[in-house]
Amino acid sequence: MIPEFLIRALLASIMVSVLLGLLSPIINTKGLAFLTHALFHALLFGAVLGMILALLLNNYGLVILTALVVTTLLVILIAQLEKIGFTSDSAVGIVSSFVAGLTVLGFGVLYKVMATRPYFPLTQNIVSYLTGDIFLVTLDDLTVLIVGGAVVFFVLLLLYRDFLYISFDMEGVESYGGNARAYLTILYVLVGVIGALIVQTVGLITLQVVAILPGAIALMVSSDFRKVLGISLLLTLTVQLTSVVLAYFTAIPPSGIATIMLGIVYGALLFRR
């Protein structure tokens, strides 16, 4: 008899694999690795703010919801800064610096709130948010991931060709009358939303690695983008499912196993060159 929590973990892994498998090649071709670093700050700040609200309102579901809203707003802000003339790195750096300061202040407020209210139910939420223990995913968490992931998947699929165009030739898209900045903003929002949806399963600490390495590895193996996409999807799915199975038998956090596996594959390909 397969435990129910393991079934939930495997289903969550499949959805995460599809989203990351599609997104990772775009992140690499468009050069959005620094944006994923900004996501770390945005998601952490959103989580801290969500924890404060969760304690005040006694509703622990607010953690992920708040992180989703905060992250979406911040990536839109980054896109707007780029629109008015800032480079991508500058826009990310400006937003990240302010968010880092707000996060430190948020922790100060969180400690004060925790001192006045029982926070035991929040402990499990914090652990799963930081380390990505997919075995702690509840049925409600899985429902949000599947429904939200399905919506993002179809939007990503619908606009995937446009995202490729702006990744390789943004000026060319604009010269043909396309609104490249609008597509870029949508892409940034999708990156932020996907990050908020999957952070509880892959972990905030390892999010940047699992978002970047599958696409980077696929691009090292092939220059044909269809093959790149297939390799990224297959690699992500294999690593995620394998890490869940190994974690079940070893009691090691699956996010750590997945990161190490991706690192080994990436390192092996580098040594072969």
Write down the pTM of the prediction: 0.85
pLDDT, greater one: 90 or 126: 90
Give residue 235's pLDDT band: very low, low, confident or very high (50, 70, 90): very high
Q: Is the pLDDT of residue 194 over 70?
A: yes
Q: Which of 24, 42, 57, 58 is nearest to 96 (CA)?
A: 42
Q: Is residue 254 part of a domain?
A: no
| Mean of all residue pLDDT scores within the chain | 84
Q: What is the pLDDT of residues 16-68, one digit of tens each?
A: 999 999 999 998 888 777 777 777 788 888 888 888 888 888 777 777 888 88
Q: What's the pLDDT at 254?
A: 87
Return the DSSP state at 223.
S
Q: What's the pLDDT at 240?
A: 93
Q: Is residue 97 part of a domain?
A: yes
Q: Is residue 269 part of a domain?
A: no
Lookup: tokens for 224: 């044909």
Cα–Cα dist 236/200, whole Å: 17
Residue 52, domain CATH = 1.10.3470.10
Contact indicator for 174, 166 with CB cutoff of 8 Å:
no
Q: Is residue 146 part of a domain?
A: yes
Total domain count, the chain: 1
Please report where in the chains the tokens 């090649």 appear, as a residue.
Answer: 25
Give residue 241's pLDDT band: very low, low, confident or very high (50, 70, 90): very high
Kindly report which listed range (95-109, 112-126, 145-159) carries the lowest average pLDDT score. Answer: 112-126
User: What is the domain range of residue 183?
Assistant: 4-205
Q: Is residue 42 part of a domain?
A: yes
Phi, psi angles (nearest 5°) of residue 169: -155, 80
Q: Is residue 195 part of a domain?
A: yes
